[in-house]
């Protein structure tokens, strides 16, 4: 966190949806009213709305920057407003830390949850006012874009991203530089870029946090990608469930347009027009061909690949589709250089990753750590494990990763370093980075049924294995959960799941059985104990 200039005190209030749900709006109103009523001399403290301050479970959060020291307070309500203002205005006293009225609200900034973070994507999220372009520019927004336009050719930018080893953060982990080359090397003609913000995996909220906290970083990343592949037009697709993210992004796009930042008058005369597209509630639109169908205004129905969107996308043009986090990683990556980025984390999967932690842990919220950090570090050391959990695994039964297309990793695998390849080998997937921690009260068949019912409800209906198969699988899991399934039913369940996995058209159906397979692999006992006992004549 950047400290404020010594004279003025800065109150950074987390104004993201999480803290808003916890009451940040009422607190903001109280603080604004209190600041207005101040009569004492000197520069008044400034209230600044910022993006996610990470530790959502202690929301609403407020960071007080004074005398170069930043103190974080949590669990606030308008009742604490007078004490906060007294701290912020207190002159000649040491930096604001101790106050009886705020004793229970101080959040220790040195605890592992904050200390082990390595913010790159989120480096200015929580510092910058997401509604203020000038503040974003003061924090370095669009500087990398301008530098690259002035000094690098598109091929050089692509080479740098290839060297960085960055892999797509949407879940597939495809090398970003390679995708860019594919689009750039298509026959001459117009190209398009698309930012995929259809973050539908339950448990994932990193893209929402980026959009709500630092929208200009995403726009800069998208513009860099457009320059690198030769696109002049682009779309940012955001799911309609994120109204605040949409509002902030819309405002940021207006600001960029009004200021002419991407109008092509500056260095390199590169003109780029990004447009916002809002979804309407369909999980399948996270799949890239369904996403394109939705941007074109139709039903979000995927199509057979190849041709891949990189060859033939929107309107038949080569189209680059990158996840929000991938694009938001670019400004920091290009500032430090490809080689420095490649040195972070495992060589096969370098960089940092933003994880959203929820479920049965003490500290829930957003963390950014180097790839390859162990699950234990993230969910136990940083997030604190299960409340009142005991034992070396902190009461954790499993960690659910990757949402409905991912799986569950048992506590015995907590020492696994998180990256795309390792998790895939273990029968799960990293997905977009949602980590839901499960304690011992969680029954795996119930969880598998929940995900299967989700997929059945979200299947677009185009291909039979997914449309009919997920419904049958959800039914069988229902029977199993209710203790009405036999061992033969379990076998049928697995067979059918294999068919759905192998024969579905798109990722939704192909990965729908993943939670089932991974929980069967690691928690078979949970299933077996639900089976009907054999009748005497069967044994």
The distance of closest approach from Cβ of residue 531 to another protein in the complex, given in angstroms and rounded to an integer, is: 23
Span from 29-37, 303-311, 364-372, 488-496 in contact with another protein (CB under 8 A): 364-372
- Please state, in angstroms and as integers, the Cα–Cα distance from residue 242 to each residue in 59, 247, 257, 301, 336, following that order: 19, 9, 22, 21, 31
Distance spanning both ends of the chain, measured CA to CA: 66
Stretch that binds another protein, among 160-168, 215-223, 331-339, 358-366 (CB under 8 A): 358-366
| Least distance from another protein to the Cβ atom of residue 290, Å | 11
Residue 235: closest CA among 249, 217, 247: 249
Shortest distance, CB of residue 241 to another protein, whole angstroms?
A: 5
Question: Tokens 């092509």 sit at which residue?
Answer: 264
Cα–Cα distance for residue pair 530/478, rounded to 1 Å: 11
CB of 457 to another protein, least distance (A): 9
Q: Which stretch binds another protein (CB under 8 A): 17-25, 42-50, 186-194, 326-334?
A: 17-25
Q: Which of 121, 360, 398, 496 binds another protein (CB under 8 A)?
A: 360
Residue 301: name the closest of 310, 311, 309, 293 by CA.
293
Closer to another protein at the Cβ: 123 or 201?
201
With binding defined as CB under 8 A, does residue 180 bind another protein? no
Nearer to another protein, 138 or 280 (CB): 280
Q: Which of residues 202-221 bind another protein (CB under 8 A)?
A: 202-205, 208
Q: Is 357 in the site for another protein (CB under 8 A)?
A: yes
Nearer to another protein, 164 or 429 (CB): 429
Q: What angle do CA 138, 141, 145 make, to 5 degrees?
A: 135
Q: At what angle do helices 215-229 and 206-213 cross, to 10 degrees?
A: 100
Q: Collect all residues with Cβ–Cβ distance below 8 Å to 253 and sequence separation of at least 6.
A: 219, 236, 274, 275, 276
Six-digit token string for 197? 């913000």
Task: Concatenate the DSSP letters of all residues of 443-504 into one string.
Answer: -HHHHHHHHHHHHHHH--SSSHHHHHHHHHHHHHHHHHHTT---HHHHHHHHHHHHHHHHH-
Q: What CA–CA distance (Å, rounded) separates 12 from 52?
A: 10
* CA distances for 145 relative to 149, 227, 470, angstroms: 6, 9, 45
Contacts of another protein in 40-69 (CB under 8 A): 56-57, 59
Neighbours of 138 (CB within 10 A): 12
Question: What sign does the CA torsion over 98, 101, 104, 110 have?
Answer: negative
Q: Is 395 in the site for another protein (CB under 8 A)?
A: no
Q: Residue 237: beta bridge partners? A: 196, 277
* 462 makes contact with another protein (CB under 8 A): no
Q: In the complex with another protein, which residue's Cβ is closer, 195 or 261?
A: 195
> Which of 20, 105 has the CB closer to another protein?
20
Q: Does residue 298 interact with another protein by CB under 8 A?
A: yes
The reply on whether position 115 binds another protein by CB under 8 A is no
Binding-site string for another protein from residue 235 to residue 254, where x marks contact by CB under 8 A and - marks none: -----xxxx-----------
Q: Which residue number, 345 or 395, has a Cβ lying nearer to another protein?
A: 395
Nearer to another protein, 242 or 270 (CB): 242
By CB atoms closer than 10 A (0-12, 13-18, 19+), residue 135 is: middle
- Residue 431 binding another protein, by CB under 8 A: no
Minimum CB–partner distance for residue 206 and another protein (Å): 9
**CB-nearer residue toward another protein: 270 or 355:** 355
Cβ–Cβ under 8 Å, residues 400 and 438: yes
166 CB-near residues (< 8 Å, 6+ apart): 175, 176, 177, 326, 329, 333, 341, 350, 351
We find the least distance from the C-beta atom of residue 112 to another protein, in angstroms, to be 17
Q: Which is nearer to another protein, 277 or 305 (CB)?
A: 277
Q: How far is the CB of 454 from another protein (least distance, A)?
A: 8
| φ, ψ for residue 277, nearest 5 deg | -125, 130
The tokens for 222 are 């998208």
Number of residues lying near another protein (CB under 8 A): 51
Asked if 450 interacts with another protein (CB under 8 A), we say yes
Binding of another protein at residue 150 (CB under 8 A)?
no
Binding mask 63-102 for another protein (x = CB under 8 A): ----------------------------------------
Q: Binding to another protein by residue 524, rule CB under 8 A? A: no
Contact between 324 and another protein per CB under 8 A: no
Residues 6+ apart with CB under 8 A from 141: 124, 128, 133, 216, 217, 220, 331
Taking CB under 8 A as the binding criterion, the range among 7-15, 29-37, 272-280, 413-421 that sits at the site for another protein is: 272-280
Q: Report strand pairing: 434-439 vs 106-107.
A: unpaired
What is the arrangement of strands in the sheet containing 106-107, beginning at the earlier edge strand? 46-50, 10-14, 62-66, 69-73, 106-107
Residues constituting the chain: 539
Regarding 299 and contact with another protein (CB under 8 A), the answer is yes
- Which residues would be at the binding site for another protein (CB under 8 A)? 17-18, 20-22, 56-57, 59, 199-205, 208, 240-243, 277-283, 294, 297-300, 356-360, 364-366, 400, 403, 434, 436, 438, 442, 447, 450-451, 454, 460
């Amino acid at each position: 966190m950047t400290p404020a200039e010594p004279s003025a005190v800065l109150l950074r209030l987390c104004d993201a949806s999480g803290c808003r749900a916890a009451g940040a709006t009422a607190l903001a109103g109280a603080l604004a009213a209190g600041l207005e009523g101040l009569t004492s001399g000197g520069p008044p403290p400034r209230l600044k709305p910022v993006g996610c301050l990470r530790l959502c479970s202690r929301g609403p959060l407020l960071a007080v920057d004074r005398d170069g020291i930043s103190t974080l307070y949590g669990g606030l309500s308008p009742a604490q407003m007078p004490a906060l203002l007294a701290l912020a205005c207190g002159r000649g006293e040491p930096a604001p830390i101790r106050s009886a009225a705020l004793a229970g609200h101080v959040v220790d900034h040195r605890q592992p949850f904050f200390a082990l973070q390595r913010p790159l994507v989120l480096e200015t999220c929580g510092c910058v006012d997401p509604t203020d372009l000038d503040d974003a520019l003061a924090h370095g927004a669009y500087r990398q874009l301008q530098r690259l336009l002035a000094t690098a050719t598109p091929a050089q930018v692509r080479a740098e991203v290839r060297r960085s080893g960055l892999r797509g953060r949407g879940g597939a982990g495809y090398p970003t530089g390679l995708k860019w080359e594919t689009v750039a090397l298509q026959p001459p003609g117009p190209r398009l870029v698309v930012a995929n913000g259809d973050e539908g995996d339950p448990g994932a909220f990193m893209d929402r946090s980026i959009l709500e906290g630092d929208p200009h970083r995403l726009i800069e990343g998208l513009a860099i990608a457009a320059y690198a592949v030769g696109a002049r037009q682009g779309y940012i697709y955001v799911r309609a469930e994120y109204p605040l993210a949409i509002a902030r992004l819309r405002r940021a796009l207006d600001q960029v347009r009004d200021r002419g930042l991407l109008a092509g008058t500056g260095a390199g005369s590169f003109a780029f027009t990004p447009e916002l597209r809002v979804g309407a509630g369909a999980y399948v639109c996270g799949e890239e061909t369904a996403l394109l169908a939705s941007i074109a205004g139709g039903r979000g129905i995927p199509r057979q690949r190849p041709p891949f969107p990189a060859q033939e996308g929107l309107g038949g043009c080569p189209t680059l589709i990158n996840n929000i986090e991938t694009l938001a990683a670019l400004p920091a990556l290009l500032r430090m250089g490809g080689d420095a980025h490649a040195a972070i984390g495992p060589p096969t999967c370098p960089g940092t990753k933003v994880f959203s932690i929820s479920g049965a842990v003490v500290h829930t919220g957003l963390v950014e750590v180097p790839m390859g950090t162990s699950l234990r570090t993230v969910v136990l050391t940083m997030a604190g494990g299960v409340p009142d959990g005991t034992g070396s695994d902190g009461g954790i039964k499993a960690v659910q990763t990757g949402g409905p297309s991912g799986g569950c990793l048992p506590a015995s695998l907590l020492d696994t370093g998180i990256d795309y390849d390792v998790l895939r080998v273990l029968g799960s997937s990293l997905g977009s980075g949602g980590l839901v921690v499960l304690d011992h009260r969680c029954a795996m068949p119930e969880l598998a049924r929940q995900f299967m019912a989700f997929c059945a409800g979200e299947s677009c209906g185009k291909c039979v294995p997914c449309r009919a198969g997920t419904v049958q699988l959800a039914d069988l899991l229902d029977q199993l959960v209710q203790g009405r399934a036999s061992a033969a039913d379990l076998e049928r369940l697995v067979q059918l799941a294999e068919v759905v996995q192998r024969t579905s058209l798109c990722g939704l159906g192909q990965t729908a059985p993943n939670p089932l397979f991974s929980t069967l692999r690691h928690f078979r006992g949970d299933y077996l104990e639900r089976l009907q006992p054999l009748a005497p004549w069967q044994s």
